[in-house]
Amino acid sequence: MRPNLPSFDELVNKYKEELQKDPRAMQEIEKNLEEKQSKNNNLNVN
C-alpha cells in the first residue's frame, strides 16, 4: 500500500511558509515580480 503523501496544496503552503520566514528570499521574489511587472508595462505601452 502507498504511503499517505501530502497533497500538492499542502506542499505549496509549507514551501510558502518557509519562504515567508526568510527575508532574503522574500526580497528576491519581490524584486523578480517588480521586474516582470515593469517588463509587462513596457510591452503594453509600445
Query: pLDDT for 1-46, tens place per residue?
Result: 677 888 999 999 999 999 889 999 999 999 999 999 998 888 776 5
Query: pLDDT for 11-23, tens place per residue?
Result: 999 999 998 899 9
Here the cell at position 36 is: 516582470
pLDDT of residue 46: 56
| pTM of the predicted model as reported, rounded to 2 decimal places | 0.55
**DSSP letter for each residue of 6-44:** PPHHHHHHHHHHHHHT-HHHHHHHHHHHHHHHHHHHHHH
Instruction: Check: CB of residue 25 under 8 Å from CB of residue 19.
Output: yes
> Rg of the Cα trace of the chain?
17
